[in-house]
Amino acid sequence: MPAQHHIEALITMLGPKGATTDPTDIAPHIKEWRGKYFGQTSLMVMPDSTVEAAQVVRYCNEHKIALVPQGGNTGVVGGSLPGLNGRDEVLISTKRMNSNIRVDAADYSVTVDAGCTVAAIQDAAKAANRLFPLSLASEGSCTAGGVVSTNAGGVHVVRYGTTRALTIGIEAILPDGEIYDSLSSLRKNNTGYALDQLFIGAEGTLGLVTKVAFRLFPPELERRTYWLAVDSPSDALELLASARTETADRVSVFEILPHAGLELVLTHIPGTINPLSKPYPWYILMEVATSSPDSGLRTKLEEWVASNMENHLIQDGAEAQSETQAKAFWKLRESMSEAQKHGGGSIKHDIAVPVSHVPAFITEATQTLEAAYPGCRVTPFGHLGDGNLHFNVLQPENANKEEFLAHWDSMNRLVHDIVTSHKGSISAEHGIGTMKKEELARLKNPAALTTMRCIKKALDPNNIMNPGVLFL
């Protein structure tokens, strides 16, 4: 732990609301919600402004005290917890930096404090008749600084892109305590390096994000939600291409789920029902939306569904007839992770491959794992529209959970090798954190990894910013 005089200096700097050593206050911030990682720290600091944050970072740099930034603590890869593996670190939380959300409707932008939740940004945009399209399961808790630092994706990437595509300006505290400010909604700026991009996906290793400017879009005034049955991921891929063409690229959601996953949801999640009369191998949750209420979208989609049922790409389907029914469709998709907990141990992979490779990847990875781990239940689901799959593998029926989970690293290596052979990524939207840094070192292009290390050393020579993640 930092020397007592450093703890006292930081508490004096921030006051009683801005720092705590109380284990009860700190406890919720040092464990991940999934229960895989548990950290430790003797001090949590909570600045409420950029100026206070800069003072903290400057002091810690001068005294070589490591800092771990944390937003909503919704991560799953051990990337925002202090003290993992006995590291001596102070937790710096942005939860008090959440008072400013400024929407510029004419500019289609919103500027926010790093501690503002995604849900709060969505609500502010909606109040101004605009859309902030980032949408993910943790949006009520995850924060602007966190989604920037992990380059979060969510369900709308197929149309609106990842957080990287939505970010147009950043304010951040550099490791020496200086304030980097590009907090502008400027769309074109051709004056050298795109420095903002360094902070997006950096997981707090290059500085502390304190404010963000995001893009906004016209509101989706008409949205059509479908639950469709298909025979295979190959058919789903063909259907995606057809839907994008026929709707003038207005597909905003295209999620794929296997029947095995749906069966777990229907069995274990109260209030869920299958929208279709009988089971099928695979399902698609699709949304198509437009900002024009008189677009003829419904008629076009009805014709599209009928045509694809005739050619047998769609085996069966249902359109949500109300907002309540659309939410029921979404509950099936959003309950996939929760339902899998009832199936026993689950080894998870947050991977992405090129969209065109998804069917071949699913086939190859499934066959490889079933041969290596007989009886395992491969249950992939996720964002087919952008190639990001949550490639989860459940333990065999009646197997010992702990014995199965002991295969986590070896199974990860098998899956990641197949991902790499398909020119994919071992981390699509959750980050590297602590969990995947060995795999990053093993699989990342050596020149890219060397460049990343050089940037880290140049900006953070004392290695105070989240030193336990990304790099071995």
Closest CA to 91 of 28, 58, 45, 59: 45
pTM, two decimals, is 0.93
Q: Decide: 160 and 133 in contact? Cβ < 8 Å.
A: yes
When pLDDT is averaged across residues 24-33 and rounded to a whole number, the result is 92
| The token pair that represents 26 in the structure block | 């700190």
Torsion sign over Cα 440, 443, 448, 449: positive
Q: Phi/psi of residue 55, each to 5°?
A: -65, -40
Share above pLDDT 90 across residues of the chain, in percent, rounded to a whole number: 93
Given a cut of 90, is residue 125 above it in pLDDT? yes
For residue range 46-77, list pLDDT tens digits in order: 999 999 999 999 999 999 999 999 999 999 89
- Domains defined along the chain, listed by start: 101-215 (3.30.465.10), 222-338 (3.30.70.2190), 343-428 (3.30.70.2740)
Kindly report, residue by residue over 75-100, the tens digit of the pLDDT: 989 999 999 988 899 999 999 999 99
Q: 445 and 426 in contact (C-beta within 8 Å)?
A: no
Structure tokens at 45: 């600091």
- Rounded (10°) angle between helices 233-246 and 297-310: 150
The string of pLDDT tens digits covering residues 157-192 is: 999 999 999 999 999 999 999 999 999 989 999 999
Q: What angle do CA 236, 340, 366 make, to 5 degrees?
A: 50
What does residue 395 show for φ and ψ, rounded to 5 degrees? -65, 155
Q: What is the pLDDT of residues 438-467, one digit of tens each?
A: 999 999 999 999 999 999 999 999 999 999
What does the pLDDT read at residue 151?
96
The CB density around residue 441, as the number of other CB atoms within 10 Å, is 14
Torsion angles phi and psi, residue 283, rounded to 5: -130, 150
Reported confidence tier of residue 27, pLDDT bands at 50, 70, 90: very high
Give 3-state DSSP helix, strand, coil % of the chain, rounded to 5. 40, 20, 40
Residue 389: how many other CB atoms lie within 10 Å: 25
Longest dimension (CA), the chain: 75
265 token code pair: 């949801």
Cα torsion 44, 46, 50, 56 to 10°: value is: -30
Structure tokens given for 220: 């989706």
Mean pLDDT for the stretch of residues 107-117: 98
- From first CA to last CA, the distance across the chain in angstroms is 21
Q: Is the separation of the CB atoms in 131 and 220 below 8 Å?
A: yes
Share above pLDDT 70 across residues of the chain, in percent, rounded to a whole number? 100
Long-range pairs for 365-374 at CB < 8 Å and ≥24 separation?
365/391, 365/414, 365/415, 365/418, 365/419, 368/414, 368/418, 369/393, 369/411, 369/414, 369/415, 372/411, 372/414, 373/404, 373/407, 373/411
Q: For residue 472, what pLDDT band results from cuts at 50, 70 and 90?
A: confident
pLDDT at 222: 92
Rounded Cα distance between 275 and 265, Å, is 13
